[in-house]
């Protein structure tokens, strides 16, 4: 007798479900497999070499039988592999991204996805019906507090910043090769997080100086990155609430994944503050995920756009929409630069004095 699940995974015409429907239906399970493997320390243990399920259970203090099920799920999803001895290992192509000791490791973002995003998507239907999310209010917080909660502990801040570095640095380096020369000016990276963009820019232009302006808890992260890269003489940190505090003096303001976090009104206020603080000929660099101009993709941008609806006050846009926003603020000669990754750039100049 066929199982009910087997029958349900058939299309009305008798064929198998399309892969898109299978992935969408079971995607939340796949995410939990990935996040749980990271949370129990499986990737930490497997980075040094293959382990049997018994060995991995001892190392992670998990039940061997339950862990065997989790590992099997990880193997079927391509998150783990098994060798001829039935030992589990991290696939070679995933190792730099899942190895906690790698500078390309992205697992630091998993905590936020697990702790916040999974719960936030539980109220998606309500948010779509009403046009806004009550997620943070339902948990006794506001959006502003949500950002502070991500940096609530030194360990959490370090892990999140590490993930942001892994997701941002290589794209930033690629974009810096496309930009017009920034020369010996001063760059202020508003909400610059781990400093990945500032460091990429400093490495591209040896005469440039940079300041990361962010919440105070990011200071040790940025200072450590500056020392590691030998840039402590050219990169500094300023604790700053960019909606309330005076903006540090700059020839260039960078806004990386900032405008997409806030409402149009608050984003416009920030762009106006940056415009007013810039000297004539100064420029703003907006670094964001971008929709294709016809909004047919990418899927990750569309999904993160929903996350913005649920978790913040913002949204993702097309490159042209950002250009038009900058032009309404007063910026001219606006251009869009697309990298091969998920971070792109829109540049606008403050008109020079005639």
Q: Which residue's entry shows tokens 């192509």? A: 93
Per DSSP, the three-state class of 14 is coil
Token pair recorded at residue 320: 């042209």
Domains and CATH numbers, the chain: 4-98 (1.10.10.10), 169-292+311-349 (3.40.50.150)
Which tops the pLDDT comparison, 352 or 156?
352
User: What would the pLDDT profile of 57-111 be if each residue is shown by its tens digit?
Assistant: 999 999 999 999 999 999 999 999 999 999 999 999 999 999 988 888 888 888 8
Q: CA distances (Å), 152 to each of 139, 144, 156, 165, in order?
A: 16, 13, 7, 19
pTM of the model: 0.87
Order of all β-strands in the sheet with 252-256 = 235-239, 209-214, 186-190, 252-256, 283-288, 344-349, 332-337
**Quick one: average pLDDT of 234-259?**
96
Token pair recorded at residue 180: 């017009």
Token pair recorded at residue 100: 């906690």
Element at 269 (helix H, strand E): helix 264-277
Contact 334, 354 (CB under 8 A): no
DSSP string, 292-325: -TTS---HHHHHHHHHHHHHSS---EEHHHHHHH
Please state the length of the chain: 354
User: What would the pLDDT profile of 278-329 be if each residue is shown by its tens digit?
Assistant: 999 999 999 999 999 999 999 999 999 999 999 888 999 999 999 999 999 9
């Amino acid at each position: 007798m066929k199982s009910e699940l087997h029958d349900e995974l058939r299309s009305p015409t008798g064929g198998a479900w399309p892969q898109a429907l299978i992935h969408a239906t079971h995607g939340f399970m796949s995410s939990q497999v990935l996040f749980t493997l990271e949370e129990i320390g499986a990737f930490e243990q497997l980075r040094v070499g293959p382990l049997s399920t018994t060995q991995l259970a001892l190392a992670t203090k998990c039940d061997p039988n339950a862990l065997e099920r989790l590992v099997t799920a990880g193997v079927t999803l391509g998150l783990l592999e098994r060798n001829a001895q039935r030992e589990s290992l991290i696939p070679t192509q995933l190792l730099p991204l899942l190895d906690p000791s790698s500078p390309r490791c992205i697992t630091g973002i998993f905590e936020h996805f697990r702790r916040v995003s999974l719960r936030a998507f539980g109220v998606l239907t309500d948010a779509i019906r009403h046009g806004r999310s009550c997620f943070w209010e339902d948990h006794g917080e506001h959006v502003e507090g949500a950002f502070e909660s991500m940096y609530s502990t030194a360990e959490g801040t370090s892990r999140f910043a590490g993930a942001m570095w892994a997701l941002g640095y290589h794209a930033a380096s690629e974009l810096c090769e496309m930009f017009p020369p920034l020369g010996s000016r001063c760059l202020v990276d508003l909400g610059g997080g781990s400093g990945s963009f500032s460091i990429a820019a400093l490495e591209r232009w040896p005469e440039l100086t940079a300041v990361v302006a962010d919440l105070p808890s990011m200071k040790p992260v940025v200072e450590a990155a500056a020392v590691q890269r030998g840039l402590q003489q050219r990169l500094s940190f300023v604790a700053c609430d960019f909606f309330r505090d005076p903006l540090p003096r700059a020839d260039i303001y960078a806004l990386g994944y900032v405008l997409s976090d806030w409402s149009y009104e608050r984003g416009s206020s920030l762009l106006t503050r940056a415009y007013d603080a810039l000297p004539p000929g100064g420029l703003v660099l907006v670094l964001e995920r971008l929709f294709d101009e016809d909004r047919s993709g990418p899927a990750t941008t569309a999904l993160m756009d929903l996350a913005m609806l649920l978790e913040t006050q913002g949204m993702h846009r097309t490159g042209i929409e950002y250009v038009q926003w900058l032009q309404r603020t007063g910026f001219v000669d606006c251009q869009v630069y697309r990298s091969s990754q998920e971070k792109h750039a829109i540049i606008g100049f403050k008109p020079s004095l005639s």
